[in-house]
Amino acid sequence: MKFFLIAGEASGDLHASNLMKALRVKDPQAMFVGLGGDKMREEGCDIRVDYREMAYMGFVAVLQNLDKVKRNFRIAKQSLLEQKPNVLILIDYPSFNLKMAKFCKKNLPHTKVIYYIPPKIWAWKKWRIHNIAKYCDNILGIFPFEPNFYAKYGYKCHYVGNPTADCIREFTSTTHTIHHTNTIAILPGSRRSEISHCLPTMLEAARAVAKNKYQIIVAAAPGIDDSFYQTYLENEILTRNPYATLAQAKAAVVNSGTATLETALIGCPQTAVYHVAGSKYLEKFLRPIMFSIPNFTLVNIISKQEIIQELIASRFTQENVTNELQRLLHDNAYREQMQANYLHLWNILGNNSASETAAEQIITTVNQK
């Protein structure tokens, strides 16, 4: 079979590569073409556009790179028509992938469209559910509550397991986690725009706590050069091994996203932050319209309780982050309760291998008439 995959971010590149491994077990003759990165290349995917040319976040960033965005769409559409794959597999990246799903259904009606890691519509922009269901032959969710959410609207979604949990399970099987070295981990995000907005405040807060007692370690994102980070760093260490850093760190400040779940599953006490332009306006007027749930972070959403502090929008200040870091570092009861709550996440997510279960679903869908 021929598979066309689209991943627009580093995490999608990783999860797509693991899915490719699982698909090759099912189909040793599988051919892979798509949009992605180095992880997918290593598994034999013919990459037509690198995700580093696609990772634009926010309205302004898209406008500033409109020519590149149009070029990426043009290449993706031309490649899809040229390859005529058995299946188009979409990995997260909704603004791009939903347009490609519609294009595929219109122009290649015999190609199956499968969304692996669908958009978090249960959190915001709920109305997108109808287009996802309309243009996709199968929806493979990675959170256990997603099938029930889709069912409320009369649509099917299969929970295949969580790929982040798979990665952490593999890591912790060979690595001892201690969480009491004198280090503070900073995970500022995976896109240049969010790093530039969040990292300065994160560092100011950590420096106020660290003084000469703690070493601050900043986790760099794949695809972003060290030189980009050096503008912000003083005596901090830059690492490209975030899991090992989190396994040792006493506490972490994490940009809200998949990294908060990774940090929790590794067991490191943390606070989540996120910068929002015009944050007071957003909180007062837009949040009731755009957002459907009370929490922002995956850790709190999955557990249905506030396990970690969310310093989002107007709450994301140097003073607030510093105060929360002090608590994470010095209040042992608070740390232990957070880590105990982390363990419950494993029970909720289950033991399914997301890649293997997703591969089974994909092959079954393609073989259906």
Instruction: Kindly give the confidence (pLDDT) of every residue in the chain, 369 residues in length, as a single tens digit, with 9 standing for 90 and above.
Output: 999 999 998 889 999 999 999 999 999 999 999 999 999 999 999 999 999 887 655 555 556 667 888 899 999 999 999 999 999 999 999 989 999 999 999 999 999 999 999 999 988 789 999 999 999 999 999 999 999 999 999 999 999 999 999 999 999 888 777 777 899 999 999 888 899 999 999 999 999 999 889 999 999 998 899 999 999 999 999 999 999 999 999 999 999 989 999 999 999 999 999 988 765 555 555 455 445 567 889 999 999 999 999 999 889 999 999 999 999 999 999 999 999 999 999 999 999 999 999 999 999 999 986
Q: Comparing C-alpha atoms, which of 47, 68, 41, 48 is closest to residue 56?
A: 68
Boundaries of CATH 3.40.50.2000 in the chain? 2-161+352-367, 170-349
Domain at 2-161+352-367: CATH code: 3.40.50.2000
Instruction: Judge contact between 158 and 141, C-beta under 8 A.
Output: yes
18-22 long-range Cβ contacts below 8 angstroms, 24+ apart: 18/163, 18/166, 18/167, 18/354, 18/355, 19/89, 19/91, 19/116, 19/355, 19/358, 19/359, 20/44, 20/45, 21/355, 22/353, 22/355, 22/356, 22/358, 22/359
Question: Which pTM was predicted?
Answer: 0.89
- Amino acid type, 138: N
Count of other CB atoms within 10 angstroms of residue 229? 18
pLDDT for res 314? 87
What backbone torsions phi and psi does residue 112 show, to the nearest 5 degrees? -75, 140
pLDDT for res 212? 86
pLDDT for res 283? 56
Domain at 170-349: CATH code: 3.40.50.2000
